[in-house]
Chains A and B, each alone.
Chain A
Amino acid sequence: MSQNAAVSEPIVPENANEHCPGPESEMAGKADNCEGCPNKKICESAPKGPDPDLGEISEKLKHVRHKILVLSGKGGVGKSTFAAQLSFILSDDETKNVGLLDVDITGPSIPTVTGCADMIVHETASGWTPVYVRDNLAVMSIGFLLESSDKAVIWRGPRKNGMIKQFLKDVDWADLGDEETGAQGLDYLIVDTPPGTTDEHLSIATYLRESGIDGAVLITTPQEVALQDVRKEIDFCRKAKINIIGLVENMATFICPHCEHSNPIFKPTTGGAAALCSELNIPFLGSLPLDPRIGKSCDYGVPFVESHPESPAAQAYLEIVKEIQNRL
């Protein structure tokens, strides 16, 4: 077990007192500076010290070469769609092994968009065996653990965190393709997240701190209401010390299938994602058009680039994925 589990700086809440010892430190909630802090009670009751499970997670994920988070502040901008298509495209290269982990606990979409909604996950001696969508693409989601897709997962933060930890600790990714190709473990682990900047995001950042995250791909739509939430996500990445691989603008324009006229449905009233990228100095990875066939592919769980290779959206996807690979 590693001795430096908590080397990086802790995330200090904004309204914390000056000289906050950090919510994860031994003194959290007990230090003199904690008197009067609105977070005192929460810090006091939280478990102290480096989490012993972190070492176990690192051990489990040591054969994962690249870990990429897919984040967005706003919901419904296409995180799961992008995460799924990214995984499909990466696994088109048969020499690469890809894992896709869905940490959206209360609204898992990955099973549907990867076409394995009816699958269940098996437990073996070495942990949970993920669902294989392709020989070299394994998927894990809470959706595989529910008896019925109608069932709601009504959990508060701590239970969601426990589940995420278990996903990282107990899913047996290493199984992928190791006999034939000799390749051990995963080349890429893509983590799809729920919208926002809360428990799931903090947990994944904390649990993967030791084993290292390559970075986050942020997704947005062009209108200001969505961009505002991306600003918050960027702020989160900076606070949590997660490298930002870049920003993808989704649903940029809609090409009418009848007359090919280009319609900006979510009009970029403030310059869209490109303007935000240059303002906040983060890489712009590209724009994806709003093509109804993408949504359809997701409903049926088929790889969009494979089913419509000639479409401009497919080309845009391939370019963005190449850009991401270049930046790793």
Chain B
Amino acid sequence: MAGSTNFPGLEKVKHIVLVLSGKGGVGKSSVSVQLAVALKELGNKVGILDLDLCGPSIPRMLGVEKSKIHQASSGWVPVYITPDRNFSVMSIGFLLPDKNSSVVWRGPKKSAMIKQFLTDVYWGDLDYLIIDTPPGTSDEHLSVVENLQALKLDGAILVTTPQAVSLVDVRKELNFCHEVKLPVLGLVENMSGYVCTNCKECTNIFSSGGGKKLAEEFKLNFFGSVPIDPSLVEQLDISATGCDEFERYSKFIQQYKSSALYEIFTNFSISLQNSLN
């Protein structure tokens, strides 16, 4: 099996956590970003590796979509989000010529790219590397697990939305984790309710409580329910034009800290830290 020497860039990474979900659009990327932000604000050094090759969202969400990757003697240098270099990101988005270009690749090529991301990116000292994945249980997931299992892979965080259709897919993802012997660190229920800006009445757009029930059924650690917050959608969406990337983050974190989501994710991060240490 692969020894740590095969992944020199990951040598100083303490914990590696996968973010998975069977269904698309349940908020894997936004959960990955918020988890990384919360861990960073708790004083950790964090990195995000975006393995969604056909639809990378992380660069846009962190306002660094125009950044490019630099090559150093030790490998690819990830894009830094903060000036203290304690928050770094790698995504295929940084390697594409422009935002209209698509990556139309079959499995073997995607696997090769993922291998390269794992071997060639020089992350340096990291407390946590969060790996964001595309939906499903296919090439990307198998590749990352196969490559990292012998090294260190703490486990997976599953993301779901509360409706039946999504829960069906999470069951499949649980089955996947079981088959490839990947520990499940816990489950997050995203988009679990929406508070109307006008009447403050909470509507469960995608139903509610499904995630918690599933966690109980499979005896999983339940990290909590995350409500829909349109201002977060907007913050993750607005283009970074007019300010440099570091400025974008400090603006983002300022706003984010005042939202209810920050507290939820801080608690989530603390409970994750405790379970890993």
**A240-B22 Cα distance, complex, nearest whole Å:** 27
Shortest C-beta distance, A291 to chain B (Å), equals 9
Which chain A residues (185-224) contact chain B, with CB distance < 8 Å? 194-199, 201-202, 221, 223-224
B275 contacts the other chain (Cβ, under 8 Å)? no
B3 contacts the other chain (Cβ, under 8 Å)? no
Chain A residue contacts of B55, Cβ below 8 A: 73-75, 195-197, 228-229, 232
- A198-B104, A236-B102 are contacts. A299–B163 as well, Cβ < 8 Å? yes
Chain A residue contacts of B161, Cβ below 8 A: 76
Can you list, as one digit per residue, whether each of B90-134 has a CB less than 8 Å from chain A (1) or not (0)?
000000000111111111111100000000000000000000001
Looking at the complex, which one of B24, B104, B110, B237 makes contact with A236 (CB distance below 8 Å)? Answer: B104
Is the beta-carbon distance between A154 and B109 smaller than 8 angstroms?
A: no
Using CB atoms, name the residue of chain A closest to B228.
A265
B271 contacts the other chain (Cβ, under 8 Å)? no
Which chain B residues (133-152) contact chain A, with CB distance < 8 Å? 134-139, 141-142
* Interface size class, chain B: 35 or more
B54 contacts the other chain (Cβ, under 8 Å)? yes
**A298-B234 Cα distance, complex, nearest whole Å:** 27
Which chain A residues (24-48) contact chain B, with CB distance < 8 Å? 39, 42
A165 contacts the other chain (Cβ, under 8 Å)? no
Q: Which one of B69-77, B192-200, B259-267 is at the A interface? A: B192-200
Looking at the complex, which one of B26, B103, B108 makes contact with A197 (CB distance below 8 Å)? Answer: B103
Using CB atoms, name the residue of chain B closest to A280.
B100
B169 contacts the other chain (Cβ, under 8 Å)? yes
Chain A residue contacts of B176, Cβ below 8 A: 152, 154
Is the beta-carbon distance between B104 and A197 smaller than 8 angstroms?
A: yes
A239 contacts the other chain (Cβ, under 8 Å)? yes
Is the beta-carbon distance between A234 and B163 smaller than 8 angstroms?
A: no
Q: Interface size (A, Cβ < 8 Å)?
A: 72
Chain B residue contacts of A299, Cβ below 8 A: 163-165, 207
B172 contacts the other chain (Cβ, under 8 Å)? yes
Can you list, as one digit per residue, whether each of A37-74 has a CB less than 8 Å from chain B (1) or not (0)?
00100100000000000000000000000000000011
**A118-B178 Cα distance, complex, nearest whole Å:** 24
Shortest C-beta distance, A287 to chain B (Å), equals 17
Is the beta-carbon distance between A263 and B230 smaller than 8 angstroms?
A: yes
Is the beta-carbon distance between A107 and B199 smaller than 8 angstroms?
A: no
**A198-B201 Cα distance, complex, nearest whole Å:** 41
**A153-B142 Cα distance, complex, nearest whole Å:** 12
Which chain B residues (14-65) contact chain A, with CB distance < 8 Å? 22-26, 29, 53-55, 57, 60-61
Can you list, as one digit per residue, whether each of A138-161 has a CB less than 8 Å from chain B (1) or not (0)?
000000000001111111111010
- For A113, A153, A202, the residue with the greatest tally of chain B CB atoms inside 10 Å of its CB is A153
Which chain B residues (202-260) contact chain A, with CB distance < 8 Å? 203-207, 228, 230, 233-234, 236-239
Shortest C-beta distance, B102 to chain A (Å), equals 4
- A106-B138, A107-B135 are contacts. A150–B171 as well, Cβ < 8 Å? yes
A128 contacts the other chain (Cβ, under 8 Å)? no
Using CB atoms, name the residue of chain B closest to A160.
B138
Chain B residue contacts of A267, Cβ below 8 A: 230, 233-234, 237
**A267-B228 Cα distance, complex, nearest whole Å:** 12
A225 contacts the other chain (Cβ, under 8 Å)? yes
Chain A residue contacts of B25, Cβ below 8 A: 74-77, 195, 221, 226
A261 contacts the other chain (Cβ, under 8 Å)? yes
Chain B residue contacts of A160, Cβ below 8 A: 138
Chain B residue contacts of A156, Cβ below 8 A: 107, 111, 138-139, 142
Is the beta-carbon distance between A109 and B165 smaller than 8 angstroms?
A: yes
- A232-B55, A254-B205, A292-B205 are contacts. A265–B104 as well, Cβ < 8 Å? no
Looking at the complex, which one of B23, B100, B105 makes contact with A75 (CB distance below 8 Å)? Answer: B23
Chain B residue contacts of A149, Cβ below 8 A: 168, 171-172
Shortest C-beta distance, A319 to chain B (Å), equals 23
Is the beta-carbon distance between B54 and A196 smaller than 8 angstroms?
A: yes
Shortest C-beta distance, A198 to chain B (Å), equals 5
Chain A residue contacts of B26, Cβ below 8 A: 75-76
Is the beta-carbon distance between B194 and A254 smaller than 8 angstroms?
A: yes
B175 contacts the other chain (Cβ, under 8 Å)? yes
Is the beta-carbon distance between B207 and A266 smaller than 8 angstroms?
A: no
Shortest C-beta distance, A162 to chain B (Å), equals 12
Chain A residue contacts of B104, Cβ below 8 A: 11, 13-14, 197-198, 201-202, 236, 239-240
Looking at the complex, which one of B100, B135, B142, B171 makes contact with A232 (CB distance below 8 Å)? Answer: B100
Shortest C-beta distance, A231 to chain B (Å), equals 5
B276 contacts the other chain (Cβ, under 8 Å)? no
Is the beta-carbon distance between A224 and B100 smaller than 8 angstroms?
A: no
**A307-B251 Cα distance, complex, nearest whole Å:** 46
Chain A residue contacts of B165, Cβ below 8 A: 80, 109, 112-113, 298-299
Chain B residue contacts of A233, Cβ below 8 A: 102
**A105-B138 Cα distance, complex, nearest whole Å:** 9
A–B complex contacts, Cβ < 8 Å, 12 sampled: A14-B104, A74-B55, A76-B23, A107-B22, A201-B104, A224-B60, A229-B57, A234-B100, A256-B199, A258-B203, A267-B237, A269-B237
Other A-B contacts than A75-B134, A256-B201, A292-B206, 8 sampled, CB-CB below 8 A, are: A75-B55, A80-B165, A106-B172, A112-B164, A154-B176, A225-B29, A254-B194, A298-B163
Closest 9 CB pairs of A and B: A75-B24, A76-B25, A157-B107, A261-B198, A196-B54, A232-B102, A106-B136, A256-B196, A152-B175
